A and B are shown apart, each in its own frame.
Chain A
C-alpha cells in the first residue's frame, strides 16, 4: 500500500471505526517504505527495498482491552479485525492502570516530510554510495558504510473523536574508512529529513581525514583527562541519560533521578549551569512528530534548565497517581550549546583528549548512571591548544550526570545522530574535565 495522505488515512480509519461495538475503540495505521545499501571493502555487500503497512485496532470494555492487527484492507477484513479486537478485550484481565482514551485535540502539522527524500530510488542510493567509495579509493582507504531512507506515515482515530496524522521522511548515512595496514580508522555519521542536506562525498572526506591522521597512535596512561567530545560522541553518551528522564522510575527510587530518601530530583541543581536540555518538535533543524501515541500534542518542553531538573516524563497514569499534569514522552531532544567552534575548544585546551566517537556504551550502575564504553575511530592528544598526535583507544567508566557537572565549555550545537539508535539530536561539542578512562585498548 502506498503512503496514504491525511484524508485517505482518515477515511479508512473512519470506515474501520464504524464497525466498533466496544465502549471505546482506537484504530491506527502505519505504513513505511524505503530501502538501504550496505557497503564494505569499497563494494556493495547488501541492499534492500522494503514496504510494510499495518492497521491496528484496540477495543475497550471497561478496563479490559484487546488489540488486533491486519495488513489486508478489504471490507470483510476490516470488519473481522474489529470483531477480533473485541473478542480479545472480553478475554483480557482488567488493567488497574487503565486510562480513558483522550478526546479531540489540535495537532499542528509537523515539518518532517520532505518530498525529495520520499522520491529516493535505488539509483539515488547507489549514486550516493558511488561518491563515497570514490573518495575512499582516491585516498587509498577502504570504505564501509550504510545509507538508509524511509518514508512513513502514522494516523490514529478513536471513538472519542481524536484524530492525528503525521508523515515523515528520513535518511541516515554512516561511513567508516580504514587504511590497508589496519592502523588508522575514521568515521562520520549524518541523519536528515531532507536528502538535499546529505553530502556523502564531504562526509567520507571527513572520515578519510580522520583515518589518515589516526594512524600511528601512541599509548597514554589511563586516568582522568580533560576531553573534548565531538557531537557524535556526546550524543551517544547522553542518549543513555535522555532515556532515563522518567518520573515513575525516579519516584520508585531506582533511577539516577531518584532523590535519596524518596521522590525525584525535579527542582534540583543536578548539573553545571551551562547545561540546558529541551524538546521542541517545531525546531527547524530537528523537526519531529507533533503528537504521541497516547494522543498528546507535543510542545516545547524544558527538561534541564541551567543545570536544574525542570521536568520528567509523566505517563497519564503516573501523573494521576501523583496529582500532576501528564508530561508526554518527547519526539526529539536538543541541548543548547555555546558559541565556540570545535577548533576553538581545542585551541583553549592546555592538555586533553579529542574524542571523535564512542562505542559499545553500556550501563554499569543504574544508581549513578555509570556507563562504560570506548573511544573509537580517531582519538587525539591535545597539548597547548594543538592536536599533537593520535593516541590508542581507551575504555571509560563515567556517568553522563557527573560529566555534565564537569562542563568546561560547550561549542555550537549541531545536528548529530546516535550511532546505536540512529535517532537525530541537536548536540554541541563539549569540553569536559576529569573524564575517567580506566584502561587501554589495542583496537583500531
Chain B
C-alpha cells in the first residue's frame, strides 16, 4: 500500500486541513525504543559535517542537513476495544543545497557516512539539473551561525514515558462513559509526536531540538433508530505542544458556561460526559432558519476560522504565487501591505504570529533552516502590517532576516514556509461571554470546530461547528442544528464588534495542516477569546437522499 493510500484510509477525521495526513509518518517499532535517546549528538555532528563537506566539494554554495528521528504513537479505540496501537519511528537524513543558484534536495534513510555523502551529491546533481530551467538565483537572507545550541519543548512529562496500558485504560474509560450515557458509537484516540531534529548548515549552526506534541480526541455518535438520523459531537480538546500533563486538569483549567471548555489542560472524562448529553440534544434540536445572524464564536471554534482566513492568506509564499498550483494564492497582495491602510478587519482585530508561545503546537527554538524564532504583528488595529517569510523570501518584503517559519514534516521532505502560531489578541476592555451575548438580538453561539472550506485566494469561506445555540433577545434559547455560515474574509473580520478579554483567551489548533507538493503536514496553534461578528450569513445544511 502506498503511503498516501494509508493516510487516506486511516484518516479518522483528526483535523487534517488540506490533506488527511500524519506528521512524519513512520514505521512500527517497540514503544520501549521511544525511551532511548537516539543517536548521540556528537555522532550527529560528525555525520552533518560529512553532508556539508560533500555538498561543498560538489559545488554547493550553501548546504543544510537535517538528521531527524520522528516518533509517533497513536492509540486508537472504539467502544470497548482497542483498534490500533501504532508505535512508529522514522529516522533519516535530508540534505538541501544551493548549486548554480538553484535549490536541490535529497534524502536517505541509510544513516551512514557513505550514504549521506552520496545523498549530498544527489542533492547537488538535482540543483544543477534544475539550474538549466531557472534564471533567477536563490537569494538567501543572511543568517549568523549559532554554533552548537539546543532547545526542548518545556514539558512536565513526556507522553512516551506513560505506559500504553494507561492510555488504553483512559480511552476505554472515556468510551465507557459515552456508551453508558446512551451513545451508539464512540471513537477515541491519543496521538503523541516527538520530533528529534538535528540541524546543521554551512552558516555554522549545529542545532539540536526535541519537540513534543499531544492530541487526545474522541467523537461520540448517537443514532435515532426511528428516523435513521445520526448526530456526532467531537471532543473540545486541542492538540498541544505539551507533554502528558495536558491530561491532568485542575479546576482552574475549566471554563464554565453552557458547556465546560478547557484552557491549558483538558478533562477528557468530563468532556465525553458532556458530549454524550450534547449529541442527544443535537438529535432533538431545531433545524436552523437560514438568514443573517450575529455570531458569538468560542475559541474552540474560532481557531479554525483564524487558521483559514488569516493565517493562510498571510503566508508570503502564497502571496507570491509559490502555492498557486496547489492551495492557491492570496487576496492579501503586496500592494495592500505596501499601502499600510488595508483594513483587513475592524479596529478591534489584532493578530500576532508567534513561534514561542508556551504550550502551542508551533513553538520551537529554531526553524528548519536554522533561524531563531520570534513573534511579530500580522494585523494591527485591523490593518495588514506584515506576512510570514523565510530566508529566500525575506528580501521581497524588505527584511534583512527571515522570520523563522520554515518547516519540514520529516527528514525526507524539503523544508519550506509554514505558518507559525497565529492568534487573535484578546479585547483590551473587560468583557465576558455573558456580557457579549446579552447584547445580541438574533444570533448563534457556536462551540467547537466542524466542517471547513475556503477558496484558493481565501475570500469565500464556509464553516460548521460542533454545537450551536440560538441567541434570542440576549438569551440562549436552545440548541440548533444544520448550521453553517458563509462569508467573505474581509467583510467577516470587519464585522467583528466585540472580543472578550484575556481571561477567556484559549488556544485551539491543527494537528495536520496540509500544504505543498508533495503534501506536507504542519502542526500549529491559534488562540483567541470569544468573539462576536455581526450580520453573518447562515445557511441550512439539511438534505434528503
Contacts and interface: CB of A to CB of B under 8 A. Distances in A.
Interface of A: 32, 35-41, 43-54, 56, 66-69, 71, 84, 87-88, 92-93, 95-97, 121-123, 125-126, 129-130, 133, 142, 144-146, 148, 152, 154, 174-176, 178, 182, 185, 187, 243, 252-254, 256, 258-262, 270, 292-293, 329, 359-370, 372-374, 376, 393, 395, 397, 399, 401-402, 405, 420-423, 438-444
A60 B473 CA distance: 63
Contacts of B130: 37, 44, 47, 122, 126, 129
B321 A178 contact: yes
Contacts of A38: 325, 516-517
Given A146-B325, A365-B541, A95 B105 contact: no
Contacts of A405: 545
Contacts of A67: 28
B321 to A, nearest CB: 5
Contacts of A41: 320-322
Contacts of A438: 462, 486, 539
A47 B127 contact: yes
A38 B185 CA distance: 43
Given A71-B110, A372-B451, A397 B539 contact: yes
A443 B328 contact: yes
Nearest to B290: A438
Interface string B445-457: 0000001111111
Contacts of B342: none
A95 B103 CA distance: 48
A93 B75 CA distance: 12
B460 A442 contact: yes
Given A154-B1, A174-B517, A442-B459, 12 more contacts: A44-B130, A44-B134, A47-B127, A48-B414, A126-B132, A253-B230, A254-B221, A260-B227, A364-B451, A365-B542, A372-B484, A439-B462
A48 B486 contact: no
B285 interface: no
A245 B333 CA distance: 42
Contact of B103 (A46, A97, A443): A46
B416 interface: yes
Contacts of B328: 359, 376, 443
A402 B451 CA distance: 19
B459 A441 contact: yes
Quick one: which of B81, B85, B455 has the most chain A CB within 10 A?
B455
A364 B484 contact: yes
B474 interface: no
Nearest to A67: B28
- Size class of the contact patch on chain B: 35 or more
Contacts of A36: 517-518
A251 to B, nearest CB: 12
27 contacts: A38-B325, A39-B133, A40-B323, A47-B126, A48-B107, A48-B126, A51-B108, A68-B30, A71-B109, A97-B81, A126-B132, A176-B325, A182-B333, A187-B325, A252-B184, A365-B543, A366-B232, A372-B451, A373-B453, A376-B455, A401-B545, A423-B4, A438-B486, A439-B462, A440-B460, A443-B455, A443-B460
A444 B136 contact: no
B106 interface: yes
Contacts of A329: 9
Contacts of A401: 545
A178 B132 CA distance: 23
Given A360-B454, A372-B453, A35 B464 contact: no
A423 to B, nearest CB: 8
Given A69-B29, A146-B517, A176-B325, A43 B543 contact: no
A73 B324 CA distance: 42
B57 interface: no
B457 A93 contact: no
A406 B186 CA distance: 35
Interface in B213-237: 221, 223, 225-230, 232
Nearest to A395: B460
Contacts of A258: 228
